[in-house]
Amino acid sequence: MSETDFLLEITDMSLEKNQQNYETIFSLSNGYLGTRGSKEEDFILNKKADQGTFVNGFYESEPIVYGEAAYGYAKDSQTIARVPNAKQFMFSFNGTPFSKGKISNEHHYLDMKKGILCRSFTWVSQKDEVVEVKTERFVSMTNKHFLFNQYEVTPVTHSGLFEFHGEFTTNDRVLEEDDDPRKAKSMAHLLTTQVLLGEEQEPYLETRTSHSGLCMMSSLTLSTDQEKILPRTQSTSTGYHYDFEVEVAKDNSYAVRQQVYYGESYETEFLDYLSEKAAHEAYWLDFWEMSDIQIEGDPTLQKGIRHNLFHLNQAAGRDGKTNISAKGITSDGYEGHYFWDTEMYMIPFFIYTQPEVAKKLLMYRYSILNNAKKRAEELGISSGVLFPWRTINGEECSAYYPAGTAQVHINGDISYAIQTYVDVTGDTQFMEEYGAEMMVEIARFWLSFGAFNQDEFMINGVTGPDEYTALVNNNFYTNKLAKYNLECVVNLIQESPYLQERLAIQQDEIEKWALAAKLMRLPYDKERGLTLQDDGMVYRQVWPFKTTPKEKYPLLLHYHPMMIYKHQVNKQADTVLSQYLFEGDFTREQLARDYAYYESITTHDSSLSRSIFGIVGTRINEVEKAYDYFMDTVSMDLDDVQGNTIDGIHAANLGGMWLGLVKGFGGVTIQDKELHISPVLPDKWQSLTFCIKYQSRVIRVFVSHKEVRVTLVSGEKITLAINKQSVILESGLVITL
Ligand code: BGC
């Protein structure tokens, strides 16, 4: 693979729709700290730019004001807060301000192989003085508190004086009045940023939230060639401005480096830029070694795949105290909240490639188990836990309960992810110490929230994944996951008397769990042979798709929820999602029938939908359809498929893309605790190559139209199934198709 296969240039994107999409697409983050890809000079030249910098989990809250409150509604909002932005930087040359010059030859690209955002351009003053400018930026993957930016100028026609001006301030986003629930509201008015002086009288900033009681320290160290630059500074209400000058002779270069720190305490360490950069680049090279997915046959698509993998990796909190927000750390869209997106869409990538990160993500859930316990109590649920639908700090902050708290499937999603993590990694210690407790509390929830009724176990008054259908009885997806959780817990406890004792489980509890699992209601229409999304589905009319104009999508922005809820119309995969998860429980014919029906009523207004329709398409021989869905998932942000890339990347969809490649086309599944690989290659590709980690082994899979080559890269031999044929993998195996 050549280096250029990892370079994403601004010309690769369709930017006509929205100039600011590049800020999202070029965002850099490391799971802790994230900054949008705005240009240094945007703070003067492009007032609409969103230059946001964020720290995962650093949020402000406010009491939610309800017109008509009711018992048990979420009390406080939580919104990821903007931290001071150090990228704002520009120069004047021999008295000509930057804004009066002309820019040409601009190249703006992301080097995904090394994790560096680069830019180069020529600036020409009104007096025809030419300055070449080069910038590079990275958010360190090896030193999570730091972001680095380098701004290099080379005067090529005249020697002269550069006057540099920069700002280190908390700047707000320019918000237009909008009803779009996916956008964040501004919290800037609740933040206070104070300039303080450090040991050597160098300024640093302390940003405090008013209600959530959090404090973020940040500092900016300027240097050139390892010499600190000490500029003149001037405090403002949100940070400080600074200026300094330097004479640069013609054809000489001068590079200003910014080392920007964010953390809970004041940090003075002055780091060596080049060694920090080298360590960061080495991290990314290692990442690609394990996690790159290669396709032969479509170089543009290849770049898109890498871009999505790059962002997915950047998005994940890795400290056990934070998670992955719906927009990663690229924006405050969806307010920086963590949803089920992590467990059902993103965590599989980490489970199969970086299990240590997956474990931290699950540890985050463990860290909020007490909140989940309290939330269940608050709702009057006598036993068990209810995890929050949307949260940062562990408390429920979804203000609209029909599409929030009512999505109790979040419990089943978390349990499913724990079981998958343990099945794939073999980390039974995690299960014993943390996983089992969460799963047992979730099992307790079903029993106290649901009820036995006429020989069935029912879970009523809930909302499934499809947010265009709310507050229904027996959502198929929810019940299927509840059943799986109960079955897993029964097995686990029967195998471990130790856990039974530690988690104070009564024998009759186990019996009830087993019975509820056995009698779980899974709605089905025998006459039509159709799996039903919920009990009431048959009574709802199909949405008038034929008479709905294109501009009325997404429906959520144009119709009152009541109008949507009374129809059969899906925002996203719901029943089909459960069929991807539990494929083995359905015949091929059943899958095909349900797929055709649900596809006909799904708008894909949610970005979490297409990837799943793509995967299930591969299972029912609809490979072309699967391919089209897959293409949309790859280009979702690059081509602004959902029309809101400006508000941040669609993180769940990034995970969905990985699922599409590895689980869909790659055909990787775990069946009866055994690894299965049954690939399906789209006609348009010559080959597909990926690696997975499975129970302390690294396995590489290469699929072409002639063969499947599976290689044990490291670890002990293992029995697995390739195209349903049981084989022992010792080193390498080639199965000819
Ligand atoms: C989807 C949810 C998802 C949320 C955040 C919504 O549009 O319907 O399923 O969790 O976005 O990504």
Residue appearing with tokens 């032969």: 296
Q: Which two tokens stand for residue 378?
A: 């608050």
Q: Distance, CA 467 to ligand 1 centroid (Å)?
A: 8
Determine the pLDDT at residue 181. 73
Decide: residue 142, CB within 10 A, 0-12 exposed, 13-18 middle, 19+ buried: middle
Going by their DSSP bridges, the two strands 674-677 and 668-671 should be labelled as antiparallel
State the distance from the centre of ligand 1 to the C-alpha of 606, rounded, in angstroms.
6
Mean local confidence (pLDDT), 700-722: 96
Query: Distance (Å, rounded) from C-alpha 336 to C-alpha 154?
Result: 40
Tell me, in angstroms, the distance from the centre of ligand 1 to residue 404's CA.
Answer: 10
Q: Give the pLDDT of residue 20.
A: 75
Q: What's the rounded Cα separation, in Å, for the pair 582 and 344?
A: 13
Answer yes or no: is the C-beta of 467 below 6 A from any ligand 1 atom: yes
- The answer, yes or no, to whether any atom of ligand 1 lies below 6 A from the CB of 468, is no
- The 10s digit of each residue's pLDDT in 459-508 is 999 999 999 999 999 999 999 999 999 999 999 999 999 999 999 999 99
Q: Indicate which residue's Cα is closest to atom 11 of ligand 1.
A: 606
Q: Which atom of ligand 1 is nearest to the CA of 556?
A: 7
Q: Are 648 and 327 in contact (CB under 8 A)?
A: yes
Contact yes or no for 388/398 (Cβ under 8 A): yes
- Are 79 and 185 within 8 A, CB to CB? yes
Look at residues 202, 168, 206 and name the one whose alpha carbon lies nearest to residue 270.
202
Strands of 294-296's sheet in order across: 294-296, 687-694, 697-704, 707-714, 732-736
Query: Where do the domains of the chain lie?
Result: 3-288, 323-665, 667-737
Query: Is the shortest distance between the CB of 647 and ligand 1 below 6 Å?
Result: no
Q: Would you say residue 371 has pLDDT above 90?
A: yes
Contact call for residues 212 and 78 (beta carbons, < 8 A): yes
The pair of three-digit structure tokens given for residue 168, joined into one six-digit string: 């280190």
- Kindly state if the Cβ of 338 falls inside 6 Å of ligand 1: no
What pLDDT was estimated at residue 232?
97
Q: Report CA(522)–ligand 1 centroid distance (Å).
A: 24
Q: What is the pLDDT of residues 200-231, one digit of tens each?
A: 888 999 999 999 999 999 999 999 988 999 99
Give SS3 for 636: coil
pLDDT higher than 70, residue 609 = yes
Nearest to 311 by CA among 83, 31, 690, 54: 31
Q: Scan for tokens 């009512």, then name that residue.
A: 406
Distance CA 37, CA 93 (A): 25
727 has which bridge partners?
720
58 close to ligand 1 (CB < 6 Angstrom) = no
- Give pLDDT tens digits for 79-135: 999 999 999 999 999 999 999 999 999 999 999 999 999 999 999 999 999 999 999
Q: Give me the pLDDT at residue 190, please.
A: 82
Burial 235-269 (b: 16+ CB within 10 A, else e): eeebbbbbebeeebeeeeebbbbbbbbbbeeebee
Q: Taking all residues of the chain, what is their mean pLDDT, rounded to a whole number?
A: 95
pLDDT of residue 11: 75
pLDDT tens digits along 137-195: 999 999 999 999 999 999 999 999 999 999 999 977 655 656 677 677 777 778 899 99
Q: What is the mean pLDDT of residues 62-77?
A: 95
Whole-number pLDDT of residue 46: 87
SS3 of residue 548 by DSSP: coil
Whether 519 has a pLDDT exceeding 60, the answer reads yes
652 lines ligand 1 (CB under 6 A): yes
Alpha-carbon gap, residue 442 to 431, rounded angstroms: 14
pLDDT reading at 7 higher than 70:
yes
- Tokens coding 470: 């709310």
- Compute, in angstroms, the gap from residue 634 CA to the centroid of ligand 1: 18
The percent of residues in the chain predicted with pLDDT above 70, rounded, is 97
pTM, two decimals, is 0.96
Question: Which of the 8 DSSP states describes residue 184?
Answer: P
C-beta of 59 in contact with ligand 1 (< 6 A): no
Q: Give bridge partners of residue 728 from the DSSP assignment.
A: 719
Q: Quick check: do 3-288 and 667-737 share a fold? A: no
**Is domain 3-288 in CATH 2.70.98.40, yes or no?**
yes
List active site positions: 467
Q: Which residue's CA lies nearest to atom 12 of ligand 1? A: 326
279-337 pLDDT, tens digit each = 999 999 999 999 999 999 999 999 999 999 999 999 999 999 999 999 999 999 999 99
What pLDDT score does 16 carry?
44
Pick from 545, 491, 543, 556: nearest CA to 517: 491
Helix ranges (DSSP H) in 368-435: 369-378, 409-425, 428-430
Say yes or no: CB of residue 571 within 6 Å of ligand 1.
yes
User: 675 CA distance to ligand 1 centroid (A)?
Assistant: 30
Range 610-632 average pLDDT:
97
Q: Using a 6 Å cutoff on CB, does residue 339 contact ligand 1? A: yes
Q: Given ligand 1 and candidates 339, 340, 612, which is best to mutate, with the most ligand atoms within 8 Å of its CB?
A: 339
Q: Return the ligand 1 atom nearest residue 466 CA.
A: 8
The structure tokens listed for 574 are 């719901």
SS3 content of the chain, % helix, strand, coil (to 5): 35, 30, 35
Return the CA Rg of the chain. 27
Q: Mean pLDDT over residues 652-671, rounded?
A: 98
Class of domain 667-737: mainly beta
Give the distance (Å) from ligand 1 centre to CA of residue 377.
26
User: CATH code for 323-665?
Assistant: 1.50.10.10
Q: Is the pLDDT of residue 14 over 60?
A: no
Judged against a pLDDT cut of 80, whether residue 259 lies above it is answered with yes
Residue bearing the bigger pLDDT, 548 or 199: 548
